[in-house]
Each structure stands twice: as C-alpha cells, then as structure tokens.
Amino acid sequence: MRSIPADKITEAVAKLCMDANYYLGDDVYQALKNYRDKEESPVAIELLDQCIRNADIARSSEVPICQDTGFAVFFVEQGDQVCVDGNLKDAISKGVAKGYTDGYLRKSIVEDPLRRKNTGDNTPPIIWIDPVPGETFRITCAPKGGGSENMSEVKMLKPSDGEDGVKNFVVDRIKRSGANPCPPVIVGVGIGGTYDKCAWLSKKALLRELGSKHPDPYYAEMEEELLNRINNLGIGPQGLGGRTTALAVFIEAHPCHIASLPAAVNVQCHAARHKHVDL
Amino acid sequence: MAEDIIKLTPPITDEIVASLKAGDRVSITGVIYSARDAAHKRLVDLIEKGEELPIDIKGQIIYYMGPSPAKPGHAIGSAGPTTSYRMDAYSPTLNEHGLKGAIGKGARGPEVVEAMKKYKGVYFTATGGAAALISQSIKKADIVAYEDLGAEAIRRLEVEDFRCIVAQDCHGGNYYEIGVNEYRRD
C-alpha cells in the first residue's frame, strides 16, 4: 500500500488551481483557432481573435484567463493500493485556499446560498472521489464559472421521449442560453443514471479532450449531430451571431431505471479550464 | 472592420444615448464604475429608502464586473464582464435615477428594454471571458463603496480605449437578434 502525505496533496492542489486558471488547455486553444478559420461572421472572427489573444496574455503574464476563477471542482481517482496520510478533504481545501490566495484568483464562494457572506478564500471545494483499482492517484481540478453553470439543467424525461427527446432538450437548452454562458461553449451531456448521477455525468463529460471521439460509435454520431444542430442556431461568439456556438458536445451515458430517462446539460464557457496531476 | 468607432467619455447625455444604434462600435475613455449583483441590491435598497447613493450615477456607465485581485504592479486583475440578466431587477430603478449606460454580456429582459426607452439608456457588450485582454484598457481602479463585498465592491475605473459594442439601444434595437438571424440555418 502506497501512502501519500496530506501536505503533498495540498501543495499539488494549490499549483493546480493556479495553472488551471492561467493556462488555457492546448486542445481548447487549438479549437478556438480552427473555428476562427472556419467562421463566416466578421464580428465573430474578431471576437474569437480576442479569445485567442486573451489566452496568450493570460499565459505569458500568469493572470487568470477569466476574472471568474470559478468554484474549485475536483475529481479524484484513488487506487485501492493508495492511502492518504491525513484527511483528503482538508488537504484539498487547504490547497484551494492557498492557490486562490497566493495566485491572485478571485474568491467567488458565499458560505450560505441565501445569507451570502463570502468565505474569503474560495473554499469549500466540491470534491468527487472515484475508487479505482491499482496504484493510481490522480487529482483533476476543474474551476467552474458561474455564468455558464447558471445555464445548466437536469430534466427527467420519459423513456418514450427517447433519443429525440434527449437531443431536443440539449439543443433547446443551448438556444435558451443565448449569449449568457459566454459562447463558444462546450456542452457536457449526461444521459441515464439517477437525477443526481445524471448531473454529475454532464460535468464529468466536460473533462474530455477536445477533438476526441466517443468510444461508442452510437454516441460519437450523436455528439456530431448535436454539435451541428447547435452551431446551426447561429448564436455565435458572445451571442452576436456566427457559426461558432459550441466547440464540442461530449456525452456520458450510464445505466438507468426502467421508469426513467434522465438527461442533463452542463454548459462550459470557452474559458474551459481543467488540469490534472498524478501523485 | 471598416466601421467607425464612436468615442465616448462619460458622463453621457440623452442626445448621445439616442444617437447610439445596436451594432455600433464604441471606445470609452474616462471614468466608469464597476458594480454587480450585491452592490446593485444595496444601491436599489438605498434609493427605495430615499437615501443618498455612494456614487453619483447621473450620466454614468456601470460595468457589470468583479475583478480578480491585482498582482503587484498591475492596476487591476482580470476584468471581464459578468452576465447582465441578473441585474435586470435593479437596472430600471437606476435608469430612472439617471444612469445612462451599462456594460455586460448577454441580452437584457423586457423590463430593461422598456426602461432604456423611457429614461434613455444604452446597453453595451464587452467580450465575456477575454478578461486578461480587457484589463489592459483599465489604467486605475479604486474601491469607492462597499469594500466589505470584496470582488463585488464598487470600483471607480479609469479606462482608456475600452472597446465595446452597442448590444441593445434606446430605440428597441437588439444586435443579438440581428446577428443570430443572419447566421441561423434552419
């Protein structure tokens, strides 16, 4: 059994928070460039150029890509041959406080949803732990902005609504979002599971690398069809019109109850940030 | 882009507001104020109680923005717009009391459109998520009210060539509708 000291996790998390917020992933950066080259609207081209320049400035000056440095969301894959020497939740939380403070990141979390007093250090984080076999210990940090999160939704469809019901829900959700979530967006779609699992799947889907294909050809085709339908909405960058409304649609499916067809859409803005580290 | 860029320096008049049309490119130089959700609630609470506001909003432009902290040597941290519809509940009251402009992202609701027509107001969009780029046009930032709100405090911003686009004008013109209709494929 391998043991990882809690303070090593804290240090790694602090760095992940900063890196994720300063450095746009190469896949997203390249996707912005590719769509910019295909874009038809002159305004949209100008806006996509701004996004690309913005990513360059953030990287070279080590400042946040977006002022909304997000809710700090973590996905932890913990192997059954690995244990943490200390409390994992506390270790991650301390890392968030350190990363957001030392890294000049915005503190965007209020301690109570109705009484709304800022916690001052962007804690607590949201932590999802996935037990896996072996010696793996991977922490992924995915800071999530509020504007795009607000455009997300879970819907409990009927099994009879079927594939078309899911597809129409996804497209309609993006249509109703308009300019609000900072398009071009990445669309995370959860299908199946329970109400809560489905929402989680839609967020997990956002971790996929842009340009990757779904391993199941059935869903790979659905992702392509949805991307095409969404880009035909004409919403465009910042909702001012154009052919680039989404950079990708990623689906995660899961077994579900005979009575249910849950579907969830988690919208991600173009400042799509996630970084991982293996300890 | 061959279009002319309209230069603005607040405070702006009803005549200037009336001359701005959806789709116009604008460059602002001078002073604007940042305020978002929590600060808006406080401002409107003060107006409802008949008390004086901490800033004079007459003729001014409010930028819906809460920056990240400034690194040493920087005037401000990253400073892009936040989504505007969350301020829809408060904007008409501020327009009624003299506010002329707002900068944010995303379309405004019918109550704001009506208030902009009635009190002569204009809504600009800046590029959401281009926060590091936008911060370069902010030369100075000072908290002038509600310091306890942190990122949500009201800041007096000195801006230079701050670029935005008129998204919705005081005549009901809506650049979101125009743009999307042009590139939609049914």
How many percent of chain A have pLDDT more than 70? 100
pTM of the shown model: 0.96
Per-residue pLDDT, averaged over B163-172, amounts to 97
What is the full DSSP assignment across chain B?
--SPEEEE-SS--HHHHHH--TT-EEEEEEEEEE--HHHHHHHHHHHHTTPPPSS--TT-EEE---PPPPPTT-SSS--PPPBGGGGTTTHHHHHHTT--EEEEBSPPPHHHHHHHHHHT-EEEE--TT-HHHHHTTEEEEEEEE-GGGGGGSEEEEEEEEEEEEEEE-TTS-BHHHHHHHHH---
- Residue at token pair 């880009």: A231
Residue B85 inside a domain? The answer is yes
Residue B112 lies in a domain: yes
Which chain A residues have a beta carbon less than 8 Å from that of B66?
A: 67-68, 106, 108
Q: Which pLDDT does position B186 carry in this prediction?
A: 83
Please report residues of B whose CB lies closer than 8 A to that of A66. 78, 80, 128-129, 131
A126-181 pLDDT, tens digit per residue, is 999 999 999 999 999 999 999 999 999 999 999 999 999 999 999 999 999 999 99
Q: Print the domain residue range for B10.
A: 6-183
> Closest partner residue to B69 among A106, A116, A271, by Cβ?
A106
For A70-94, write each residue's pLDDT tens digit.
999 999 999 999 999 999 999 999 9
- Tell me, yes or no, whether B165 lies in a domain: yes
- CATH assignment of the domain containing B40: 3.20.130.10
CB interface of A with B, residues 99-128, below 8 Å? 104-108, 116, 118, 120
pLDDT digits (tens, 9 = 90+) for B102-116: 999 999 999 999 999
Give how far A47 is from chain B: nearest CA, Å. 7
* Interchain pair B179, A41: CB under 8 A: yes
Query: Measured between CB atoms, does A247 come within 8 Å of chain B?
Result: no
Q: Nearest-CA distance from B96 to chain A in Å? A: 25
The yes-or-no verdict on residue B1 having pLDDT over 60 is no
Checking if the pLDDT of B11 tops 50, the result is: yes
CA A182 – CA A50 distance, rounded (Å)? 13
Q: Establish if A41 touches chain B: CB-CB under 8 angstroms.
A: yes
Mean pLDDT of chain B: 96
Which phi and psi (to 5°) does residue A92 adopt? Answer: -70, -45
What is the structure's pLDDT at B6?
A: 97
ipTM of the complex: 0.94
Structure token pair of residue A91: 């270790």
How close B176 comes to chain A (CA, Å)?
5
Min Cα–Cα distance to chain B from A166, Å: 19
Tell me what pLDDT residue B3 has: 65
User: What confidence tens digit (pLDDT) does each residue in A197-228 have?
Assistant: 999 999 999 999 999 999 999 999 999 999 99
> What tokens appear for A101 in the block?
């403070």
Rounded average pLDDT over A248-268: 98
Over residues A20-43, the pLDDT tens digits come to 999 999 999 999 999 999 999 999
Mean pLDDT of the region A180-186 = 97
Decide: B101 and B62 in contact? Cβ < 8 Å: yes
Min distance B37 CA to chain A CA atoms (Å): 11
HSE-CB of B67 using CA atoms within 13 angstroms: 29
Which among B83, B148, B161, B181 is the top mutation candidate for probing chain A, defined by the most A β-carbons within 10 Å of its own β-carbon? B83
What residues does each domain of chain A span? 2-20+65-143, 146-272
**pLDDT of B2 above 90:** no
Contact B180 A241 (CB under 8 A): yes
| B75 within domain boundaries | yes
**Mean pLDDT for chain A overall:** 97
How many domains does chain B divide into? 1
Instruction: Flag whether B1 is in a domain.
Output: no
Section B158-186 average pLDDT: 96
Touching B: A residues 168-227, CB under 8 Å = 178-182
Chain A interface disruption, residue of B42, B108, B180, B184, most A CBs within 10 A: B180
pLDDT of residue B137: 98
Residue B108: inside a domain, yes or no?
Answer: yes
Out of A43, A53, A180, the one facing B133 most closely (by C-beta) is A53
Q: Which residues in B lie closer than 8 A to residue A54 (C-beta atoms)?
A: 127, 129-133
